[in-house]
Chains A and B, each alone.
Chain A
Amino acid sequence: MFDTALTRSDLIFLAQGAGMTLIVTAISVFFGTILGIVFGVIRYQIGPWWAAPLTFVLDIFRSIPLLIQLVLANAFVTTVLGLRISGFTVACGVLSFYTAAYCAEIVRGGIEAVPQTLRRAARSLGLTWGQDMTSIVLPLATRVALPSWIGLALGVMKDSALVYIVQVVELLKSTQILITRLQEPLFLLMICGLFYFLISFPIARFGGYLEKRWSND
Chain B
Amino acid sequence: MKTSFLAVGVLAAATVAMPAQADKLDDIIASGTLRCAVVLDFPPMGSRDADNNPIGFDVDYCNDLAAALGVTAEIVETTFPERIPSLMSGRVDVAVASTSDTLERAKTVGFTIPYYSFENAVVANEKVEMATWEDMKGKTVGATAGTYEAIWLEGKVKEWGEGEFRPYQTQADVFLALSQGQLDATVATVEVSEANVKSGNFPGIKIVDKAPMVPDYVALITLREEYGLINYMNLFINQQVRTGRYAELYKKWVGEGEPANLTIPGVYR
**Smallest CB-CB separation from B27: which chain A residue?**
A82
Chain A interface size, as a band, is 10 to 19
Query: Which residue of B48, B76, B89, B91 is within 8 Å of A180 (Cβ)?
Result: B48
Contact A71/B89 with A84-B33, A167-B76 known, Cβ cut-off 8 Å: yes
Is A9 touching B91 in the complex (CB atoms < 8 A)? no
Residues in A120-174 with C-beta less than 8 Å from chain B: 166-167, 174
**Smallest CB-CB separation from A79: which chain B residue?**
B90
Is A74 touching B50 in the complex (CB atoms < 8 A)? no
Contacts of A10 in B (CB 8 A): 52
Contacts of A74 in B (CB 8 A): 89-91
Is B52 touching A167 in the complex (CB atoms < 8 A)? no
Is B90 touching A78 in the complex (CB atoms < 8 A)? yes
Contacts of B31 in A (CB 8 A): 84
Contacts of A177 in B (CB 8 A): 40, 48, 52, 77
A84 CA / B76 CA spacing, docked (Å): 15
Cβ-based interface call for B41 (8 A): yes
Cβ-based interface call for B51 (8 A): yes
Contacts of A13 in B (CB 8 A): 51-52
Cβ-based interface call for A4 (8 A): no
A31 CA / B33 CA spacing, docked (Å): 29
**Smallest CB-CB separation from A5: which chain B residue?**
B50
Q: How many residues of B contact A (CB 8 A)?
A: 15
**Smallest CB-CB separation from B32: which chain A residue?**
A84
Is A75 touching B48 in the complex (CB atoms < 8 A)? no
Cβ-based interface call for A212 (8 A): no
Cβ-based interface call for B125 (8 A): no
Is B89 touching A9 in the complex (CB atoms < 8 A)? no
Q: Nearest chain B CB to A15's CB is how many angstroms away?
A: 12
Contact A180/B40 with A71-B89, A75-B89, A75-B90 known, Cβ cut-off 8 Å: yes
A152 CA / B52 CA spacing, docked (Å): 33
Is A178 touching B91 in the complex (CB atoms < 8 A)? no
A-B contact pairs, 28 of them (CB 8 A): A7-B50, A9-B50, A9-B51, A9-B52, A10-B52, A13-B51, A13-B52, A71-B89, A74-B89, A74-B90, A74-B91, A75-B89, A75-B90, A75-B91, A78-B90, A78-B91, A79-B89, A82-B27, A84-B31, A84-B33, A167-B91, A177-B40, A177-B48, A177-B52, A177-B77, A180-B40, A180-B48, A181-B48
> What 8 additional pairs, Cβ within 8 angstroms, besides A9-B51, A9-B52?
A7-B50, A13-B52, A75-B91, A82-B27, A174-B52, A177-B40, A177-B52, A181-B47
**Nearest 7 Cβ contacts at the A-B interface:** A79-B90, A78-B90, A75-B89, A180-B41, A84-B31, A181-B48, A13-B52
